[in-house]
Amino acid sequence: MTADPQVPVPPMKWDAWGDEAKAKPLSENIRALLRQALGVSTDDVRAPDKSEVVLRPSTLADEDLAALTDVVGAEHVSRADADRLPRAGGKSTLDLLRRKSRRPQAAPDAVVLPGSDDEVAAVLDVCGRRRIAVVPFGGGTSVVGGLDPVRAGFSAVISLDLRRFDRLESLDTTSGEAVLGAGLPGPRAEQLLAEHGFELGHYPQSFQYATIGGFAATRSSGQDSSGYGRFDDMVCGLRVVTPAGKLELGRAPASAAGPDLRELFLGSEGTLGIITAVRLRVHRLPEVKRYEAWRFDDFAAGAAALRAVAQHGTQPTVIRLSDEAETGVNLAMTDRIGGEQVTGGCLAVTVFEGTEQQVAMRHQLTSAVLRAAGGTSLGPEPAESWAHGRFDAPYLRDALLANGALCETLETATSWSNAPALKAAVTSALQSALAETGTQSLVMCHISHIYPTGCSLYFTVVAAQRGDTVEDVIEQWKRAKRAASDAIMANGGTITHHHAVGVDHRPWLPDEIGDVGVRILRAVKAELDPHGILNPGKLVP
């Protein structure tokens, strides 16, 4: 397989998040906190080295390999373990725990890198005829098992890596629309747009690795969603290759021409087709950025303030609120976690971007609403500190995992009126379930996406690992996650606000969309993917 095309970020570690050089060893503060509060033994846990990992042997037959090679060329197919291992799964805590196992590990049987829509169609044709499952692969950042190499009765499973779809295909500067290849990682997409003075403005936690196609396939939502919208809001059009043929969706900025079929492929997680390009709404690079942090006495007061901002439409670019627990450990400022507390009560962060006039106006209106709702300004510094470390949290999670702690995040969304009850129910479910496994836990929460009618709730959980083996810890977390998911569904939340469904949330999807909803998904899948080769075991119940 040829070397990567231009990749703007270092290759992802096989058994952890991101770039090895950016790893964040735990500070003494944090170690002490873990020991005292949660009973975590912070001795380094010995994880297997890459060279010690045993992958299950590839089951892709030679004649299948030949057929795929015919389509994409020998340099774009590989059965080598070195190529299979980095695509063995995503980056959830479960994924990373699995990587620490010394048992033989599941991995795709081959990696295939098509270079055009026609090649994607031909690969799907080969796989349909030869009964090979296909897992589309972008940045490898799924945290819901969306990349699990589920074989599901097929003879083999391939990873369909989209990295060769790496171009800014066109840019309409008048309309503010850009067609971006599905395989472009966030930073590279922004770099290509910035060369023309434009920005997409989609900055999820996974930004540095995740791709345009992955954002679309999972309904990603970025930290600037208040200003620039969720990723699905930004999508003007989609190019999709399915086993049944190709689709070009989205003829106009808005339409009444029947059901909006883009909305079937947004969030389809590779189960209905392969998204190869996305036409996106882009905007001029902001001239000015302004930061301001706020303190609220408690989460209820802060949430009411964010609600007022959403309902008044004062247009902050970023607005987020940490609850008392998150604020207490400075979780919003990765450089200061566990250090001296920046503020009591609840910390909120605001950022404003745009022209000078827009920023002035938006800042003024938003600040007036926050002040009227009981907020006290803490000045720009804590907000700048949040922005500085905004992509670093996953590194911290990995250090915790390596040091005997269990750490994971999960999220939901609901109406403003239901948010307090849902937050309490999920917190309590996590704490109870983890207590039953023999550990105290710290459950923290923030709101990072607001809408006129409701908000997201994002939970971070830290506890002590319990059990003798990695497999025990996996079971420990699964138990807690099940309790949290049940609590979400029983208390009116959505099973996921922006992490998607994958394998991990699939059991709850029938509760989310009902039996008839499930039948609709199955009917569409049967029509587009009659052999069922597309990402089996994910999303569709």
Using CB under 8 A, which residues numbered 371 to 430 contact a copy of itself? 412-418
* Residue 283 binds a copy of itself, judged by CB under 8 A: yes
Q: For the CA atoms of the chain, what is the radius of gyration? A: 23
First to last CA, the chain: 35
Q: Which is nearer to a copy of itself, 88 or 457 (CB)?
A: 457
What's the closest the beta carbon of residue 74 comes to a copy of itself, in angstroms? 31
What's the closest the beta carbon of residue 431 comes to a copy of itself, in angstroms? 23
Scanning residues 54 to 73, which ones bind a copy of itself (CB under 8 A)? none
* Residue 153 binds a copy of itself, judged by CB under 8 A: no
Q: Is-contact 541 518, C-beta < 8 A?
A: yes
Scanning residues 518 to 537, which ones bind a copy of itself (CB under 8 A)? 519-524, 526-528
Q: Which two tokens stand for residue 279?
A: 């036409």
What's the closest the beta carbon of residue 37 comes to a copy of itself, in angstroms? 32
Q: Which of 56, 196, 281, 466 binds a copy of itself (CB under 8 A)?
A: 281
What's the closest the beta carbon of residue 224 comes to a copy of itself, in angstroms? 14
- Opening angle at CA 509, ends 504 and 510, nearest 5: 140
List CB contacts of 178: < 8 A, sequence separation 6 or more.
168, 170, 171, 172, 193, 198, 200, 279, 280, 282
DSSP designation for 185 = B
Q: Give the bridge partners for 410, in sequence order.
A: 459
What's the closest the beta carbon of residue 308 comes to a copy of itself, in angstroms? 11
**Cα→Cα distances 277→74, 147, 185, 211, Å:** 24, 20, 13, 11
Q: Which of 63, 153, 253, 340 binds a copy of itself (CB under 8 A)?
A: 253
CA–CA distance, 148 with 144 (Å, rounded to integer):
9
Q: Which is nearer to a copy of itself, 223 or 343 (CB)?
A: 223
What's the closest the beta carbon of residue 68 comes to a copy of itself, in angstroms? 24
Q: Which stretch binds a copy of itself (CB under 8 A): 63-71, 101-109, 472-480, 515-523?
A: 515-523
Mask: binding to a copy of itself, 15-34, rule CB under 8 A, as x and -?
--------------------
Scanning residues 317 to 376, which ones bind a copy of itself (CB under 8 A)? 355, 357-358, 361, 365, 368
Q: Which of 374, 451, 471, 479 binds a copy of itself (CB under 8 A)?
A: 451
Dihedral in degrees, nearest 10, Cα atoms 187, 355, 360, 452: -60
Q: Which is nearer to a copy of itself, 191 or 358 (CB)?
A: 358
What's the closest the beta carbon of residue 381 comes to a copy of itself, in angstroms? 28
* Residue 249 binds a copy of itself, judged by CB under 8 A: yes
What's the closest the beta carbon of residue 333 comes to a copy of itself, in angstroms? 26
Q: Give the bridge partners for 405, in sequence order.
A: 464
CA–CA distance, 147 with 14 (Å, rounded to integer):
14
What's the closest the beta carbon of residue 14 comes to a copy of itself, in angstroms? 26
- Written as one string, the DSSP assignment of 503-533 is TTTGGGHHHHHHHHHHHHHHHHHHHH-TT--
What's the closest the beta carbon of residue 520 comes to a copy of itself, in angstroms? 6
Q: Which is nearer to a copy of itself, 153 or 313 (CB)?
A: 313
Q: 207: helix, coil or strand?
A: coil
Q: Which stretch binds a copy of itself (CB under 8 A): 64-72, 376-384, 389-397, 509-517?
A: 509-517
What's the closest the beta carbon of residue 264 comes to a copy of itself, in angstroms? 4
Q: Which stretch binds a copy of itself (CB under 8 A): 161-169, 371-379, 398-406, 486-494?
A: 486-494
The angle that helices 356-372 and 299-312 make with each other, rounded to 10 degrees, is 140
**Sheet of 274-281, strands arranged across:** 168-172, 177-181, 274-281, 235-242, 245-249
Q: Which is nearer to a copy of itself, 153 or 253 (CB)?
A: 253
* Residue 452 binds a copy of itself, judged by CB under 8 A: yes
Scanning residues 163 to 202, which ones bind a copy of itself (CB under 8 A)? 172, 174-177
Alpha helices in 271-355 (DSSP H): 299-312, 324-328
What's the closest the beta carbon of residue 539 comes to a copy of itself, in angstroms? 5
Q: Nearest to residue 242, comparing CAs of 525, 25, 502, 440?
A: 525
CA–CA distance, 528 with 268 (Å, rounded to integer):
12
Q: Which is nearer to a copy of itself, 143 or 462 (CB)?
A: 143
What's the closest the beta carbon of residue 249 comes to a copy of itself, in angstroms? 7
Q: Is-contact 63 129, C-beta < 8 A?
A: no
Q: Is 488 exposed, middle or buried (0-12, 13-18, 19+ CB in 10 A)?
A: buried
Q: Which of 264, 275, 349, 370 binds a copy of itself (CB under 8 A)?
A: 264
Scanning residues 200 to 239, which ones bind a copy of itself (CB under 8 A)? 218-221, 230, 232, 236
- Opening angle at CA 484, ends 143 and 407, nearest 5: 50
Q: Which of 312, 479, 482, 531 binds a copy of itself (CB under 8 A)?
A: 312
